Structure 1
Amino acid sequence: MDFNLSKEHLELQAKAKEFTETVLFPHEMECEENDGISRETHQKIIDATLAWGFNAPNHSKEDGGQGFSIFEQTILNEQLGKATGAIWDALWYPSYPMRFATQAQKEEYLIPTCQGKRRDAYAITEADAGSDPTQCMTRADKVEGGWKINGEKWFVTIGDIADYILVHAHVDGDSTKPTVFFVEKNLPGVELKRTPLYTHHFAFKHPEYIFNDVIVGEDKVLGEIGQGYDMTKDWFVEARLGIAARCVGGAIRAAEEANKFAAERIQFGQPINNFQAIEFMLADMGVEIMAAKSMLYRLSWEIDQTGDRKLNHAKAAALKLYCSEMVGRVCDKAVQILGGRGYMREQAVERLWRDTRVDRIWEGTSEIQRVIISGQIKKRGLDIYTGW
């Protein structure tokens, strides 16, 4: 078995690293100090993303994207994850389910989104529906010529800059008919409820939206009636892989910052990395990253080889669980090694420590990942996770 990266993959890795460090890193403190980036900065990153050929990596070239494989997306996301403030989200990944769009929908939504001319947001979570989307109260009722949507959505990430929203709703209020609708933000009845503040200083916002008798046409259904949850699970697989890759990247940067500091910080006449308390923390960080990266690369490669949606969903849960919890441990140690400096917001390790806390929550909490994993063990046996 040859686990070496190909020449092309090494070139992509180097290119993604250079993009992250030269295009994204310079805006980290702007994001931190202003709780977001300006329109001018965002446009600069959009222009750079197009110039570097990193727009819509997850969609086909025919639809205006780059047609990256899952493994290639992992290589890119790992480097992007080193940037604080989630500035990586300025590089757009149009929602995975849009590949099931009709040609007319692709021309109206997907293709211009891949080209950076439009931006989508995905709305699933509600006040009483998070880990269990069957509890969604947002509903779509048939009316003459289309559908009437009513409900409220929380945590609509990048909802502030998106110009349309993919809304997960239940047709006729029936949880067995989950369906995704294209909803333009400027339609009558689409109301911004509020924009909460969060622990991290994210490049963009996570607003809450109300949909009050919003009318959309027949042509605004994505996929089929009742197909919404399956498409949402596909979106979760891609999102969880992206989170896992960015967690590995964030952990690597935190470990590198801590290692550099420990080699240069002199106390009691010697560098602190000479003290066992510090060198053991660095050793543990290195091993955790090695294990997570091995799992990430192996699984990303495997998913490229199989179309088994249920198996991919099961393994992505394990990956997201491990990597999101790993980065928390690594960043915590990095903050500890830097001591008082590690608690200063000007330090990348402090921002990563704060930024990555959400990775154990969004796109499925650690507890939900464990529910998925344990359920798969009951159905398929331990071999699904141990029989590689």
Structure 2
Amino acid sequence: MDLSLSAAELAWKEKARAFAETWLFPNELELELTGSLPRATKDRLRAAVVESGLNGINHTRAVGGQGCTQMEQTLINEELGRATGALWAVVWHPALPLRDGSPDQIRDFLTPSCLGRRRACVAITEPDAGSDTGRIVTRAERHGDRFRLYGEKWFVTTGDEADYVIVHALVDGDPDKPTLFLVDKDTPGLTIQREPKFTHTYVFGHPEFRFEGVEVGAERILGGIGQGLDLTKEWFVEARLQIAANCIGAATRAFEEASRWANRRVAFGKPIRQHQAIDFMLADMAVEIMATKSLVYRVAWGIDHGIDRKITHAHASAIKLQASEMAGRVTDKAVQILGGRGYMRENPVERLNRDVRVDRIWEGTSEIQRLIIGGQIAKRGPAIFTGWPGDNSGA
């Protein structure tokens, strides 16, 4: 079994690391202390993404992307995840369901998004509907060959930066007809109600949108009427894979910062890493990162080798759960090792500790991931998680 990374994979990893260190890290403190970056800085970052060849890594070159494999995407997202303030978000990944669009939708939405000329946000969550998408009430009423959208969407990440919205709505209010609509943000009737502040600092916002008779044509339906839930699940899988990789990067940087500090800081006559209490924490952090990275890389490898999409859905929940909870434990230990310095916002460890907290919530809470995993075990048996590709002994 060859577990080494290929030259192409290593090249993508190095490109992403160089981008993070050159373009993201230098903007961390300004973002943290002011809460935002100037428009000119955001524009420079957008241009840098294209110049670095990191735009649209999750889509094919035919539509303006980079055609990266899942392993290459994982390596890239891991390196970008080292940046605080979710600055990794400046490197856009147009939502995977866009590839299922019509030729006109690919021309007008997907390709410009891959090239950095447009940007989408995905609007699913509502005041009374989060992980339970069955409670979504945003509706799309038919009026001839057009639709009018009514409803409210919360936590629309990057909604302030995007110029169009992928909206999950029920055609005629029918729960059996969940449908995705492509809506330009400047369409009459679409307004931003407010932009709440959250625990973490984030380079873009998470505004709340209101749809009051927002009119779109049938040509703006992504996929087809009633396909919204399946396409939304596909987007969730992609998002969970990215979060898992970002978490590895965040945990690794926190661990490295804590390890360096433990070598430098002297207490009671010797570096604190020579005290068993600190050394054991570092050992636990290292093992957690190693185990999680092994799991995430395995799933990425499986996707690239044609593993069944239903299994991918189950595995995406497993790695999102493991990576997000691991990152929380590792960054918390890093803060403890750095002591007072680890509690200062100017320290990347403090910022990372706040940043990763949301990873146990968005794109499906830890509890939802456990429900999915438990359901998959009941449906397919333990081997879906305990087995190994090619080994059917546990089936």
With normalisation by structure 2, the TM-score equals 0.97
Greater CA deviation, 141-150 or 75-84? 141-150
Q: Which residue of 1 aligns with 2:282?
A: 282
What is the Cα deviation at residue 106 of structure 1? 1.1
Q: Which residue of 2 aligns with 1:336?
A: 336
8 Å CA contact retained: 2:149, 2:212:
yes
SS at match of 1:170: strand
Counterpart check, 1:368 vs 2:368:
yes
Structure 1 unaligned regions, length at least 5? none
Q: Within 1, Cα distance between the matches of 2:376 and 2:321? A: 15
8 Å CA contact retained: 1:317, 1:369:
yes
Q: Within 1, Cα distance between the matches of 2:64 and 2:36? A: 28
Q: Within 2, Cα distance between the matches of 1:37 and 1:258? A: 28
Q: Within 2, Cα distance between the matches of 1:55 and 1:348? A: 26
Q: Which residue of 2 aligns with 1:57?
A: 57
Q: Within 1, Cα distance between the matches of 2:90 and 2:166? A: 18
SS at match of 1:48: helix
Q: One-letter code of the match for 2:367?
A: E
Q: Which residue of 1 aligns with 2:391?
A: none
Q: Within 2, Cα distance between the matches of 1:243 and 1:204? A: 16
Q: Within 2, Cα distance between the matches of 1:371 and 1:87? A: 31
Q: Within 1, Cα distance between the matches of 2:191 and 2:15? A: 41
Q: Within 1, Cα distance between the matches of 2:25 and 2:367? A: 32
SS at match of 1:85: coil
Q: Within 1, Cα distance between the matches of 2:322 and 2:266? A: 34
Q: Which residue of 1 aligns with 2:39?
A: 39
Structure 2 unaligned regions, length at least 5? 389-395
Q: Which residue of 2 aligns with 1:99?
A: 99
SS at match of 1:286: helix
What is the Cα deviation at residue 144 of structure 1? 2.0
The CA deviation string for residues 95-141 of structure 1, in whole angstroms up to 9 with x for no partner, is 11000011111111111111111110000000110011111010111
Q: Which residue of 2 aligns with 1:149?
A: 149
Q: Which residue of 1 aligns with 2:119?
A: 119
The CA deviation string for residues 140-164 of structure 1, in whole angstroms up to 9 with x for no partner, is 1111231111000000000001010
Q: Within 1, Cα distance between the matches of 2:307 and 2:102? A: 21
- 1:260-339 map, 5 Å: 260-306=260-306, 308-339=308-339
Aligned length: 388
8 Å CA contact retained: 2:9, 2:71:
no
Q: Within 1, Cα distance between the matches of 2:38 and 2:188? A: 27
Q: Within 2, Cα distance between the matches of 1:17 and 1:310? A: 32
8 Å CA contact retained: 1:156, 1:208:
yes
Q: One-letter code of the match for 2:66?
A: Q
What is the Cα deviation at residue 309 of structure 1? 2.3
Counterpart check, 1:217 vs 2:253:
no
The CA deviation string for residues 182-230 of structure 1, in whole angstroms up to 9 with x for no partner, is 0111111001111000001100000000000111011000001111111
Q: Within 2, Cα distance between the matches of 1:37 and 1:87? A: 10
The CA deviation string for residues 73-107 of structure 1, in whole angstroms up to 9 with x for no partner, is 00000000000000110111111100001111111
Q: Which residue of 2 aligns with 1:183?
A: 183
Q: One-letter code of the match for 2:20?
A: T
With normalisation by structure 1, the TM-score equals 0.99
What is the Cα deviation at residue 307 of structure 1? 5.6
8 Å CA contact retained: 1:140, 1:150:
yes
Q: One-letter code of the match for 1:139?
A: R
Q: Which residue of 2 aligns with 1:72?
A: 72
8 Å CA contact retained: 1:234, 1:309:
no
Greater CA deviation, 169-178 or 334-343? 169-178
Greater CA deviation, 190-199 or 35-44? 35-44
The CA deviation string for residues 13-39 of structure 1, in whole angstroms up to 9 with x for no partner, is 112111111111000011101212221
What is the Cα deviation at residue 362 of structure 1? 0.2
Q: Within 2, Cα distance between the matches of 1:387 and 1:37? A: 46
SS at match of 1:157: coil
Residues 106, 307 of structure 1: alpha-carbon distance in 2 compared, 3 angstrom cutoff = farther
Q: Which residue of 1 aligns with 2:194?
A: 194
- 1:184-263 map, 5 Å: 184-263=184-263
Q: One-letter code of the match for 1:66?
A: Q
Q: Within 2, Cα distance between the matches of 1:73 and 1:58? A: 7
SS at match of 2:173: coil
Q: One-letter code of the match for 1:31?
A: L
Q: Within 2, Cα distance between the matches of 1:40 and 1:376? A: 47
Q: One-letter code of the match for 1:341?
A: R
Q: Which residue of 2 aligns with 1:174?
A: 174
Q: Which residue of 2 aligns with 1:13?
A: 13
Work out the percentage of aligned pairs sharing the same amino acid: 56
RMSD: 0.8
Q: Within 2, Cα distance between the matches of 1:126 and 1:307? A: 33
SS at match of 2:188: coil
Greater CA deviation, 38-47 or 216-225? 38-47
Q: One-letter code of the match for 1:367?
A: E
SS at match of 2:212: strand
8 Å CA contact retained: 1:248, 1:323:
yes
Q: Within 1, Cα distance between the matches of 2:37 and 2:226? A: 38
